[in-house]
Each structure stands twice: as structure tokens, then as C-alpha cells.
Amino acid sequence: MNIFNDKSDGGITPLTVSSSLQETVFQLYKMSRLRFGLMRCVGNKNPISSDLFLIRGEVIDELDEDGKPITLYTSFSLDSFDTDNTFVDAEIQLAVVAPMFLASGECDYIVHMAASSHVDRSIEDPMTFVMDNVVATCNILNFGRQQKNLERFIYFSTDEVFGPAPKGVNYKERDRYNSTNPYSATKAGGEELAVAFENSYDMPIYITHTMNVFGERQHPEKFIPMTIKNARDGNMVTIHSDRDKKIPGSRHYIHAKDVADGCLFLLQNQDKIDSLEKDYGGAKCPKFNLVGPVEWDNLTLAQKIARAQNKELKYKMVDFHSSRPGHDLRYALDGGLLKELGWEPKVSIDERINQVVNWSLNNDRWLKL
């Protein structure tokens, strides 16, 4: 079984390669431009695990005076999957990447998770997000349609393509787009390309919508690791709220491991999915919402993070959303379709948060990156 799994350097963890490529990992992680590693896993003898979608491995724990890595922490050993692995270092916004990928051999599955995802940066520099999220997606799709035995292409999209969700509204997979910032607009553009490729070239594609993925090694600028650090140090935590500073923003948070489990479920249950009665509005391409167990507002989440450290939360409510266009108070998805098929997160969100808090406190260097 050959799997191409691509990721950006701004998500849950840096890229996965063998330990012999330590310097490459470091260079990729530090680059400001979006770069990607495609990992080809060949010939699994054992049943595939959802951990395979998480292994970006070789996380930099310490740098020397010259900024080079001293030690690396590998979250998942590639050896445990009994695979041969090929790491392709490339900027997938460039059309020349397809020959590079093809040179490493055919693959059965493509899981396209790579993206630029920071809303503020998309507002400041929308063209970069067009290149990273639309042009790059088209390049990966072009690569996919050249595979002779491609069984499935999964395009990871976002809840933000649907825009802000009024109280009581949880968007379903086929609801209309209502992008409010360049990031979400470019992800919607990637979705439309995926649908077009399935219909034009008969590519077997699934689209997933996820929201607020978190986990160990999430970029320290994100809300959860930032709150862990500020609560630990006794600093003020900013809670984004409505204009009256009374209602905090809310999300369905989901751990990266649960997202990986959902992805694996889709790949392992294609016959069950194909047997469903589906209405795609005359077009092919199934879509699925990967939704966290519960909806939490950001104040509740911050309080739980502080409580996990036996700390008192210091916070202030800030009217962030009405003063900064492109940011929405609430996002929400309906996870009923996947639940009907038999999938939902297996571990409670409280347990996941405690896991991440404990890992972060035991890996203090990560919070300083």
C-alpha cells in the first residue's frame, strides 16, 4: 500500500522524515514560505493505523548556538509501520513538483492536508494563500489523476468555508459557502477544484471539513498552546468575544488523533459510504464533517486549561470580531453523517485537553519556539 500524506509546516507538528534528514526538517520548519514533505509509505505488512497520518516525527526539541537541532523527539517511529519511506522536499505551489512526486512511484491513496491557515496572514497577504491553497491543491490533484491505481484522494477543508454560524445552526456538508476571509475563500476554492476533478476526470475524491484541530506540537501561536503557556506563567489570557464583551467565541475543538482516526475510517469504509443514498446536487464527490465531541466557548476552554495546571485563570474579554473583519464569533458543523456511518471521536475532549496540557508542560522547549 502506498500513501502520500502531505502537510504544511504550520499545523500540529513539523514534517516527518527519517532521522538522517534532521537538517532538512529544521530548514523546512524554519522557512517562512509554505513547503511540504510527501511521505510515501510502501508495503505495509500490518494493518494500517491512524497514527500514520500523524507522523511528521522528528520534532526539534533543542537548538545549538548556531540554530541547528541538537536533539529530536520522534512521536511515532516509522519503523513500527514496517514501511519504506520516501521524503520529497518541494514547494507544491510550483507546477514542476508533479514530476518529482511521480519519480518516487505510484500510490494508492493521497491525503492532502497541507495548507496555509492563519486568518490574519491571509488578510494581510491573500495572494500567498491563493498560491498555497488553490494553486498547490490543483498541482496535487493533477499529480493524483496521473496515478494508475488511485483508490482515494482526501482533500482536507475547513468549517470556515461556511462562514459564521448563528446560535443553534450547525452546518451540514452541502450547505452553501459564505467565506468571510481569504483563508476560507481559498479553501473553498480547493474544494471546488476537488469536485471538478472528480467530475471531469472520474477521480475518487472525498472532502472533509474539520474545525479547530489541536494537539501536541501545535504551533505555539495558536490559542490552546498560547493559553497553556500564559496560564502557567500567570499572564493574562485574551478571550475573543462579541461587541458587548459578554459572549465569548465558541468552536467544536477536535484533537489531531481523532481527525486521523476519522480519515482512516473513511478509507476503510468506502463500500459502506458508496452504498448510501446520496444527493450531491447532480455532481459527484462525497463530503464529510469531522466534528469534535462538544462545543466549547473559548472562556470555558481557557478555564479548563488553567484548572489542569492547578492555576487561576487571569483573563480579559476583548471585542475582537466586530473590530477585525474576517474573524467570526462562532463556527459550527453537524457531524451527523459520519455518526450515522459509525464514526465519532472515541476520547472525551476533557481527556484530550489534559493530554495536551501535560505534554506541553513536559516539553517546555516547544512553547518557546
Q: Do the domain assignments include residue 238?
A: no
Cβ–Cβ under 8 Å, residues 222 and 214: yes
String of DSSP letters for 75-93: SS-GGGGT-EEEEEEE-TT
Catalytic-residue membership of 280: no
Q: Do the domain assignments include residue 244?
A: no
Catalytic residue among 6, 160, 191, 216: 160
Question: What pLDDT, on the 0 to 100 scale, is given for residue 368?
Answer: 74
Catalytic residue among 29, 109, 183, 253: 183
CATH at 141: 3.40.50.720
Residues whose CB is less than 8 angstroms from the CB of residue 302 and which lie 6 or more positions away in sequence, other chains included: 227, 231, 237, 239, 313, 315
Catalytic-residue membership of 295: no
Parent domain of 192: 3-218+252-295+330-349
* Count of structural domains within the chain: 1
Q: Do the domain assignments include residue 161?
A: yes
Residues 257, 349: Cα–Cα separation, whole Å: 12
Catalytic-residue membership of 155: no
Q: Do the domain assignments include residue 354?
A: no
Closest CA to 131 of 221, 8, 25: 8
CA distances from 288 to 153, 285, 292, 301 (A): 13, 10, 13, 25
Q: Do the domain assignments include residue 191?
A: yes
Instruction: Find how far residue 3's CA is from the centre of its chain.
Output: 17
Q: What is the DSSP letter of 162?
A: G
Q: Do the domain assignments include residue 320?
A: no
pLDDT along the chain (369 residues), means of 10: 48 33 33 35 43 43 43 38 49 55 69 85 92 90 88 93 93 94 96 95 95 85 93 95 89 90 88 72 82 94 97 90 69 94 93 94 79
Question: What pLDDT, on the 0 to 100 scale, is given for residue 60?
Answer: 37
Catalytic residue among 159, 173, 216, 297: 159
Question: What pLDDT, on the 0 to 100 scale, is given for residue 357?
Answer: 96
Q: Do the domain assignments include residue 357?
A: no
Question: What pLDDT, on the 0 to 100 scale, is given for residue 261?
Answer: 87
Question: What pLDDT, on the 0 to 100 scale, is given for residue 320?
Answer: 67
Grid cell of 123 as nine digits:
488578510
Q: Do the domain assignments include residue 184?
A: yes
Whole-model pTM?
0.79
